[in-house]
Structure 1
Amino acid sequence: MISAGIDIGTSTTKVIISKFSLMNTAGGAHMPRIEIIDKEIIYRSPIHRTPLLSPTTIDMDKVEEIVKNEYEKAGVSSRDIKTGAVIITGETATKTNAEEMIHHLSNHAGEFLVATAGPDLESMIAAKGSGAYDYSKKTEKTIANIDIGGGTTNVAVYRFGKLCGTCTLHIGGRLVEFEEHQIQNVSLPVKKLLQTIGIDLQKGQQYEESNLKKLTDFMASVIARMLQKRLTETDKILLLGHEPNWTESVEAIMFSGGVGDCIYQLDNQQLLHNQYHDIGVLLATSLKENSDLMNWDWIVPTETVRATVLGAGTQTTEISGATIQVETENLPIKNLPVYQICLEHDFEKGLQKIARAMEEAIEIFDPQREGQNFALCLTDVPYLRFCEVQQLASVLLDAIKIKPHQNQPLVIVLESDHAKALGQTLNVQSKEQSVICIDQIQVEHGDYLDIGQELQTGVVPVVIKTLTFHG
């Protein structure tokens, strides 16, 4: 299975092509369990400057041209791409046509190339691409991956391979840009910060490295306080979304992204502080010099500037269980919001929740009754006898009668291996009702789900994601 990762970031756009190998990892006497057993990167694109028509608008045609050219160099076509993700990151997610751009590209650059956006998801994908996720599994240490690009710093904390929490800051290399010793651009969050900390920095002003270094030193200290969960009110000017939400103490840190790459190049004295016409190299210097950050173990990443695109191309796809029931004419299906119903291992109590849950799901996802479909995720399902599977199917079919569009597929997601039995029972009880029922997938409220075409192995590729275009 060929996978593509496309990262449209604040500063740069990158493409990566990978090949996945799938295998049944269960023994002959067990239920089939198809898993991705090998991921081989077969092409890495050069790093392109993200093309813009204006400070607020992405040049969609130029981005599409970059992707087409890189596919040609890799020797693949959009028809070959069976999974993967296009992710829009950092300040690019604030552009006026960001959502239009990402959905257009995901529809034209591959059969099941899904659109993803949102700072929390960026953090998680970068941590998987940089090697922090694998490090946490191998060492059992709590590690924070700090992915610093052109517009944002995305932090994900992992322990034992489990996500502990995330945080995103308006800290990045291109938040202040200059040309010919003159400042050309200062981002809005930085302008707000400068007013508070008393640094005079304005568009058109002469470039002074000492002044900019004061700013990057402050940014480095904000990152240190964020890791300790001690952000001050002034620090929170740079906060994008929620505060750090992990409970564990961070033991090690890893830097990725463009600024992360600068950190490791500084070791080789390859960089001049003004060579990129922004504050990226100065910020890398401030991070290396910050005494508070020295309190953690610094772990060298396996990827820096390509961490996010690598994660998007190799780490976003999951494989469903083999005991599923799907109707291929309804696949692929994209951008389904998820409503979770916890049965609490109590069958009778769980059944009583379903009708009310359906009403709430419609209120949340389709309040205007326009026909927005959604997936129901049933968790903590107890062991079911066949008569109980029949009963559950009947209750679900009764519950969906309040949906405004009866011809939509009923999409059910389970963690346990009940999907085929439940899906076939739903088909028997209502021959007109289209059903997509998959298992061995963990999702929750707030997630979006994309389900691809059924593969030869009788499974479907699944991508769980967020779609947050932050302003």
Structure 2
Amino acid sequence: MKQYEPLKEEIISAGIDIGTSTTKIVLSQFSLMNMAGGTHLPRIEIIDKKIIHRSPIYRTPLLTSTTIDIEAIEKLVKNEYDKANVGSGDIKTGAVIITGETATKQNAEEMIHHLSNHAGEFLVATAGPDLEGIIAAKGSGAYQYSKKMSKTIANVDIGGGTANVAVYRMGRLCGTCTLHIGGRLIEFSEDKISNISPPVRNLLREWNSTLATGDVMVEKEIKNITNYMADVISRMLTRTMTAEDKVLLLGHEPNWKEEIDVIMFSGGISECLYQYESKGFEQAPYQDIGMMLADSLRGSQSLKGWSWIQPDETVRATVLGAGTQTTEISGATIQVETKDLPVRNVPVYQISFKDGFQKSVHHLKDAVKDAIEIHDPQQEGQNFALYLSGLPYVGFRDIQQLAKGLLEAVKQKNKRDQPLIIVLESDHAKVLGQTLVAQDSSQSIICIDQIKVEHGDYLDIGQLLQTSVVPVVVKTLTFHS
């Protein structure tokens, strides 16, 4: 018998972060290897991640205050790929994220889809403040710290427009929160105020302040605002925000239950605190409130109640998280139609088998009907993935019955030529996928396993790699207590 050779492969991942103030790109190389013995089913894992290129930190190019310069961004990305001697066809996974205030620009959605189509064969287009906070916490080192130490850590990633907070304990996400707090929420031109963002204008109205664009910059007045921002961060961390504070809240309130032990700051404002970057990236004095906000954080008595852990990365935390921490690898025994890959932004509908196999199979039709009502209410063809969780030990007849139930259930979909996307945590994808194909060869099947997702997540599934696995990015866009 021929000896089994360990499967190995290297793929390139791109992280692109287009933020309120700055745009960054990182290219990484992942080494994949079969970690199972020759007599076992293959188990492909990422065994090494190596950063092969970091871009300079660019000012995000805008055409107007409400429009991103798509052409300039695309040129910037191409130049960085050329420097790294990497073509867009070499990119197999990664994430493009539009963060902070940039996500509110008129052409943000157009920008992200344009870039994901031109910057690589498989790049993930993601946005949303919850996800930003999670990715930043992974890039800053907060997530890894929580796994090593039995403490609850809050990573506060403050950029130009938002402060994205993610709280972790022992590698588990406890919750998220986002605030309208950032370095470019008030900007200056020479000694005058050139721009005040809408959230800060709302705050000033609450204070009955007459401060306005065109006024001479008085440092004491601005410092009152940045000191207040630091206090709001403190009250957010203790879940004691006042009604006035909520003027600066973006989305849901803090949704963790744990008491926070330590805090970490990342993002552009933490660069003002720690100055990790070379002299090439410096904030022009008095062009925005970044340095004053950093001073307010440093001097805040309420924030001194926590130990501060220095981040591994400051301004690059989000882009490094995007490029190195977002990708998972499926099981190697899967069933996929390569012509249907990649798929992007597919919502997940969870079907639990906790009430027993027979009962759950019997209710598959109702479950798929519910999934259609949630994800495709107008029957416009929005596909979704079915995540079969808690699947018990199953035999051949059980798999036959499950496949038959699934094929019958998806006949309710308006668009019958879509692939049936099945996600399993347990190692059943190959046998279930092949059974589905045998029962209905006209139905395209994407059946993957060894991936854990939740109801409400979104999935991106990449092209089949040489090691017979697919890269998968799970995007959790909202969280519930």
Distance 2:370 2:108 in 1: 30
- Whether the aligned pair in 2 keeps the contact of 1:199 and 1:211 (CA below 8 Å) is no
Question: What is the CA-CA distance between 1:140 and the residue it aligns to?
Answer: 2.1
Corresponding residue for residue 50 of structure 2: 40
Distance 1:100 1:276 in 2: 33
Question: What is the CA-CA distance between 1:203 and the residue it aligns to?
Answer: 0.5
- Whether the aligned pair in 1 keeps the contact of 2:130 and 2:477 (CA below 8 Å) is no
Corresponding residue for residue 205 of structure 1: 215
- Whether the aligned pair in 2 keeps the contact of 1:271 and 1:281 (CA below 8 Å) is no
Distance 1:271 1:224 in 2: 28
SS at match of 1:221: helix
User: Scaled by the length of structure 2, what TM-score is found?
Assistant: 0.94
Corresponding residue for residue 447 of structure 1: 457
Q: Deviations over 1:321-353 (max 9, x none)?
A: 112111111111112111111111510221133
Correspondence for 1:413 among 411, 419, 423: 423
Root mean square deviation of aligned Cα: 1.8
Q: Does 1:363 align with 2:373?
A: yes
Question: 1:205-284 residue pairs with structure 2 within 5 A?
Answer: 205-265=215-275, 275=285, 277-284=287-294
Question: What is the CA-CA distance between 1:466 and the residue it aligns to?
Answer: 5.2
SS at match of 2:195: strand
Q: Does 1:114 align with 2:124?
A: yes
Query: Closer, same or farther in 2 for the Cα pair 1:277/1:290, shift >3 Å?
Result: same
Q: For 1:10, give the aligned amino acid.
A: T
Query: Closer, same or farther in 2 for the Cα pair 1:263/1:347, shift >3 Å?
Result: same
Q: For 1:115, give the aligned amino acid.
A: A
- Whether the aligned pair in 1 keeps the contact of 2:26 and 2:320 (CA below 8 Å) is yes
Question: What is the CA-CA distance between 1:409 and the residue it aligns to?
Answer: 0.5
- Whether the aligned pair in 1 keeps the contact of 2:190 and 2:286 (CA below 8 Å) is no
SS at match of 1:17: strand
Question: 1:297-376 residue pairs with structure 2 within 5 A?
Answer: 297-344=307-354, 346-376=356-386
Distance 2:350 2:15 in 1: 29
Corresponding residue for residue 432 of structure 1: 442
Correspondence for 1:395 among 393, 400, 405: 405
Distance 2:303 2:195 in 1: 29
Correspondence for 1:465 among 470, 475, 478: 475
Query: Closer, same or farther in 2 for the Cα pair 1:116/1:232, shift >3 Å?
Result: same
- Whether the aligned pair in 1 keeps the contact of 2:189 and 2:287 (CA below 8 Å) is yes
- Whether the aligned pair in 2 keeps the contact of 1:18 and 1:40 (CA below 8 Å) is yes
Distance 2:362 2:289 in 1: 57
Query: Closer, same or farther in 2 for the Cα pair 1:271/1:313, shift >3 Å?
Result: closer
User: Scaled by the length of structure 1, what TM-score is found?
Assistant: 0.96
Q: For 2:64, give the aligned amino acid.
A: S
Question: What is the CA-CA distance between 1:386 and the residue it aligns to?
Answer: 1.1
- Whether the aligned pair in 2 keeps the contact of 1:272 and 1:281 (CA below 8 Å) is no
Question: 1:28-107 residue pairs with structure 2 within 5 A?
Answer: 28-107=38-117
Q: Deviations over 1:350-371 (max 9, x none)?
A: 1133111111111121122121
Distance 2:105 2:32 in 1: 38
SS at match of 2:275: helix
Q: For 2:412, give the aligned amino acid.
A: I
Question: What is the CA-CA distance between 1:198 and the residue it aligns to?
Answer: 4.1
Corresponding residue for residue 158 of structure 1: 168
Q: Does 1:177 align with 2:206?
A: no
Q: Does 1:189 align with 2:199?
A: yes
Query: Closer, same or farther in 2 for the Cα pair 1:272/1:51, shift >3 Å?
Result: closer
Distance 1:27 1:133 in 2: 31
Distance 1:442 1:75 in 2: 35
- Whether the aligned pair in 2 keeps the contact of 1:273 and 1:282 (CA below 8 Å) is no
Query: Closer, same or farther in 2 for the Cα pair 1:271/1:93, shift >3 Å?
Result: closer
Corresponding residue for residue 136 of structure 2: 126
Query: Closer, same or farther in 2 for the Cα pair 1:444/1:390, shift >3 Å?
Result: same
Q: For 2:388, give the aligned amino acid.
A: L
Q: Deviations over 1:304-323 (max 9, x none)?
A: 00000000100111100112
In structure 1, stretches of 5+ residues that fail to align are: none
- Whether the aligned pair in 1 keeps the contact of 2:196 and 2:212 (CA below 8 Å) is yes
- Whether the aligned pair in 1 keeps the contact of 2:132 and 2:318 (CA below 8 Å) is yes
* Alignment coverage as a number of residue pairs: 467
SS at match of 1:122: helix
SS at match of 2:217: coil
Corresponding residue for residue 5 of structure 2: none
Distance 2:33 2:173 in 1: 26
Distance 2:290 2:323 in 1: 25
Distance 1:190 1:25 in 2: 53
- Whether the aligned pair in 2 keeps the contact of 1:345 and 1:382 (CA below 8 Å) is no
SS at match of 1:69: helix
Deviates more, 1:343-352 or 1:392-401: 343-352
Distance 2:14 2:225 in 1: 37
Corresponding residue for residue 295 of structure 1: 305
- Whether the aligned pair in 2 keeps the contact of 1:130 and 1:256 (CA below 8 Å) is yes
Question: What is the CA-CA distance between 1:158 and the residue it aligns to?
Answer: 0.8
Q: For 1:308, give the aligned amino acid.
A: T
Q: For 1:40, give the aligned amino acid.
A: K
SS at match of 1:10: coil
Distance 2:476 2:81 in 1: 26
Question: What is the CA-CA distance between 1:467 and the residue it aligns to?
Answer: 6.5
State percent identity of aligned pairs.
67
Q: Deviations over 1:64-107 (max 9, x none)?
A: 11101111111111011111010000000001110110011001
Distance 2:19 2:68 in 1: 11
Q: For 1:275, give the aligned amino acid.
A: P
Question: What is the CA-CA distance between 1:445 and the residue it aligns to?
Answer: 2.2
Question: What is the CA-CA distance between 1:26 and the residue it aligns to?
Answer: 2.4
Q: For 2:248, give the aligned amino acid.
A: L
SS at match of 2:26: strand
